[in-house]
Amino acid sequence: MEGERIAIDIGSTVVKVARIDDGDRIVDQSFHPRDFEAGISQQVSALLEGSDHHKNPEKLLVCSSANGGLRIGIVCLTKRYSGAALRNQALLAGANPLFVHDLDEGPGYPPRVDILLVGGGIDCEDAAPVHERLRRFRPERYTYSSLIYAGNSHLAPIFREMFPKSAVIANPIADTLSGRALSVFEAVRRAYLDDLVYKEGVSELGSTLSAGIRPTPDVVNQGFQRAVSNESTIKAVGASLLLDIGGATTDLHYTVEIVRDDSDSRPSPGSSVARYVFTDLGVVASRESLMLQLREHPRLYEFLNSVHGEDVRDTYRLLREGDYVASPVLLSYGCLFVALDRFAEGRGPGLPSADLRKVTQILLTGGAAQALAPEAVQRLYGLFTAEGGRPDVFIDRAYQLWVDGITWTAHAPATPLR
């Protein structure tokens, strides 16, 4: 078909290939375990063998989560007012922000990050108090690979003088705290691509193809926004949330009206959809941290009773004692349970607290979500809401949200990432 395109998602363990018609509908799709001996370039070339898409790269749509996303640490020049804007841009670009600190905050023992992002504050010449605080900033308290400044532009020369090896990008909230300029978003996307190219061999795919690759979390978020905007075959009705449950992380995408009015943390002003990544919730790479959280959770028995069925008492006892080997399906429900529990209470750096009673629809996608049952999901969700209404549950078994995101030309990047 003349308007047909090929979409490829390069994951950590699986490569997904879909043929898409000119109406953004899936013609067919296939799933292929990663061939680590052959490498990405050779495997993708083999999967495309016989098609003319290598000669027409504009008909190839590629995204990847093979590296698990960049790990970002954020240090705010001002008292957290702009932290949400910086964090939201990093999240939407597919990165995993691990902490948001004030400039004077004692970091304790923060985790290692790929990028330490220092920013915040509008562009203002009269910034003497912040200037003095910036002079006292000691990045050696953190462990990172790259240092980036994205704050008050009048302080940028001072930052470069103090840290000559740092990079400076435009202040994303130069005039107001709306955070609508996307300098951090674009910088993180480029850094994600560089990280992917060097660590996963994506550069061997060819310059045209590798330059157009997108982070899978960004693509899924676009698919969710498309559903919320009523421009998808998937209907997101009212206040909605989407959970993408994978091997290493669980990504939460939600409409902002779910956030409680008294929440300490809030999404960026002006945004209708936000994202949060639980870096320690997954069914493969994060299995041990998930099992630990389930084992110690005060509502473990209620969780098991809602999704497990028979032998709840024995399973409960074995889990508490650390002698239970959980199935992938139970682990998937576990990711959903812990993510909802944290979201309801705002337990996480920069995570708002949510009124889950407002949710009218929950969407689930990702490989680990495929075996879940809508009825069990509703029972589990009922643990966090009063008796009565339950949200509609849609499980994206065809990965249509991924296709919707990667084909949404209205929100596609205007220029290649490199």
Residues 132-158: pLDDT tens digits? 888 888 899 999 988 999 888 888 999
- Residue identified by tokens 């190219």 is 197
Classify residue 2 by burial, with Cβ atoms within 10 Å: 0-12, 13-18, 19+.
exposed
Q: Which letter does DSSP use for residue 352 in this model?
A: P
Domain edges within the chain: 71-191, 235-395
> Is residue 29 classed exposed, middle or buried when 0-12, 13-18 and 19+ CB atoms within 10 A define those classes?
middle
Cα–Cα nearest to 275, from 216, 337, 358: 216
CA dist 64 and 60 (Å) reads 13
Residue 122, pLDDT score? 80
Tell me how crowded residue 146 is: count the other CB atoms within 10 A of its CB. Answer: 17
Tens-binned pLDDT, residue by residue, of the chain (418 aa): 567 888 998 877 788 999 998 888 889 999 998 887 887 778 888 888 766 655 566 788 888 876 666 788 999 887 656 777 788 778 767 677 888 888 877 677 888 888 999 988 788 887 777 788 888 888 999 999 889 998 888 889 999 999 999 989 888 876 554 544 557 877 776 776 566 555 555 556 655 555 567 878 888 999 999 999 989 889 888 899 999 998 878 999 999 999 999 998 888 777 889 888 888 888 987 888 899 999 999 999 999 999 987 789 999 999 999 889 999 999 999 999 999 999 999 998 778 999 999 999 999 998 889 989 999 999 999 999 876 568 999 999 989 999 999 998 755 443 333 2
Query: Residue 182: CB partners within 8 Å, gap ≥ 6?
Result: 89, 172
Q: Say if residue 187 is exposed, middle or buried (CB neighbours under 10 Å; 0-12, 13-18, 19+).
A: buried
Question: Could you tell me the sign of the dihedral formed by the alpha carbons of 399, 232, 219, 288, in that order?
Answer: negative
User: Model's pTM, two decimal places?
Assistant: 0.75
Return the CATH fold of 235-395: Nucleotidyltransferase; domain 5 (3.30.420)
| C-alpha dist (Å) from residue 148 to 158, 186, 207, 285, 385 | 13, 13, 26, 29, 42
Return the pLDDT at 319.
92
Helix ranges (H only) for 150-299 are 156-162, 183-200, 207-211, 216-228, 287-295
The class that CATH gives domain 71-191 is alpha beta
Task: Give me the pLDDT at residue 416, please.
Answer: 33
| Closest by Cα among 316, 327, 309, 310 to 294 | 316
302 membership: H or E segment, kind and range: helix 300-307
Closest among 351, 361, 380 to 97, alpha carbons compared? 351
53: phi then psi, degrees, rounded to nearest 5: -75, -25
